[in-house]
Each structure stands twice: as structure tokens, then as C-alpha cells.
Amino acid sequence: MKKTYFLICVCMVCALVGFLSLRTGQKASDLLLMNIEALASGEGNISYTCAGLGSVDCPGTQVKARLVAYYVY
């Protein structure tokens, strides 16, 4: 009987750890979302640069690049 309860407790701890890690992921995701919203509303800053020959439109220009590299600060 003690063994059964021990196993259940182990399972609960594992599930709790998994759940908390998911919540942590959610926090990161929310943070990113807030960051994006802040950028969209002009409260944040982002710098980007376009590199290489490619087919991706470089924002706000007539250049087509391989990569749009950006940095959030």
C-alpha cells in the first residue's frame, strides 16, 4: 500500500513539474507577445538588416534579400 502511494506521489510530482514548465513556456510566449505588441505600438525598438541576394522582400525597400536579420532591444 505504501508503495502504491509512493508511486502516485512520484507521478504527481512529475505532472506538477511538467505543468509548471508549460506555464513557464506560456509566460515566455506571453512576454514575446507583449513585446511584439509593444513594437507594433511604437513603444519598443527593433533594428533589422537585410543580407545577401534572395527573394525575400526587405521591409520598406525595393531590395530582395536572402535574410532579414533583426535585433530587439
Partner 1 sequence: MSIRLSVATPFLLLLLAACTTAPPGKGVPYDAFPETRNLTGRVLPLDTAVFRYPFRIRVQGDKAVMLDLHGTDHLFHVFSYPQGHYLSSFGKRGEAPHEMISAENVRWKEDALWVLDADKSEITRLGLSGDSLLRRETVSLDKNILRALDFAVIDDTAFLIPDYSGDARFCQVSLQGRLLGKFGSIPSADEEALRNARPALAQAWRSFIDYNPRNGVLAAVTQLGEVVEVYNLRDSTHVVRIGPHGEPEFLVSEGYSLPMGIMGFSDVQVTDSAIYAVFHGRPFKEIAASVRKGIKLPDGGQYIYVFSLDGEPLCKYVLDHAVYGISVDEEKGIIIATDVNRDDPIIEYKIQDLCEYK
Minimum distance from residue 12 beta carbon to partner 1 (Å): 5
CA 28/CA 6 separation, integer angstroms: 33
Handedness of CA 26, 29, 34, 35 (dihedral sign): positive
The grid coordinates of residue 12 equal 504527481
Binding to partner 1 by CB under 8 A, coded x per residue (else -) over 23-52, reads ----------x--x--xx-x---x-x--xx
Judged by CB under 8 A, the residue of 2, 3, 55, 73 near partner 1 is 55
Question: Do 66 and 52 contact (CB within 8 A), yes or no?
Answer: yes
C-alpha cell of 59? 521591409
Q: Which residues bind partner 1 (CB under 8 A)?
A: 5, 8, 11-12, 15-16, 18-19, 22, 33, 36, 39-40, 42, 46, 48, 51-57, 59-60, 62, 64, 66-70, 72
